[in-house]
Amino acid sequence: MTKDIQPTVKTKLRRLPKRGSYYRELIYGILDEAFICHVGFVVDGQPFVIPTAYARVDDCLLIHGSAASRMLRALASETEVCVTVTLLDGLVLARSAFHHSMNYRSVVVFGKASIVQDEREKLDALHAFTEHNIKGRWQDVRPPNENELKATMVLSLPLQEASAKIRTGQPVDDEEDYTLNIWAGVIPLHLTTGKPVADEKMKDGILIPEYVSKYERCQS
């Protein structure tokens, strides 16, 4: 597999191309850190954008949900899809209103998804969804039963047409504005965790797993 994903007409960045990247490792790193993707598709001329959970396994993006889901049924019919993922890293405050911005890392993926039919592969995908959110959780939980597997649809979208776009650093003002007596800079933003809250119906004596008490999302 090549280090770069070959840019296409859809993925080639035209505005601020210096912020773009087709480096596979960077794209995969963003996908592995985020939790939610937005899935864009069209049904009967009506566009939809649906937020949903996902996971990456090797060179595929996996999406799952109810087998009755309109989104999944539409994508399963090989509808063209656009998936986006964004990590917000900071608010960029410039001296002028016009040059305010955000520091971010984002990925856009295009393609057609296919249904994961094999039961073993579907179970592996559900394992990947769980571990994507909380590593180590799968070994502690009850695995899906036959009815739950039948009620779940898993789609696989190949990561063949994708690009990243990233902004980092300080505000960029017009040269004459640097003399203004206005505070400028970056307010960093980070995803943090709070204290775990136990389920009220949980039996007494169950200890909090370390992957819960010490949970921390990776930062690139």
| Cα distance between residue 177 and residue 182, in whole Å | 9
Whether the pLDDT of residue 174 is over 70: the answer is: yes
CB atoms within 10 A of CB 188: 9
Q: What topology does CATH give the domain 17-174+186-213? A: Pnp Oxidase; Chain A (2.30.110)
Angular region, 16: left φ>0, alpha ψ -120 to 50, beta rest: left
Task: Give residue-wise pLDDT tens across range 49-107.
Answer: 999 999 999 999 999 988 888 888 888 887 899 999 999 999 999 999 999 999 999 99
Q: Where are the domains of the chain?
A: 17-174+186-213
Distance of CA 190 to the CA centre of its chain: 16
pTM: predicted TM-score of the whole model, two decimal places = 0.91
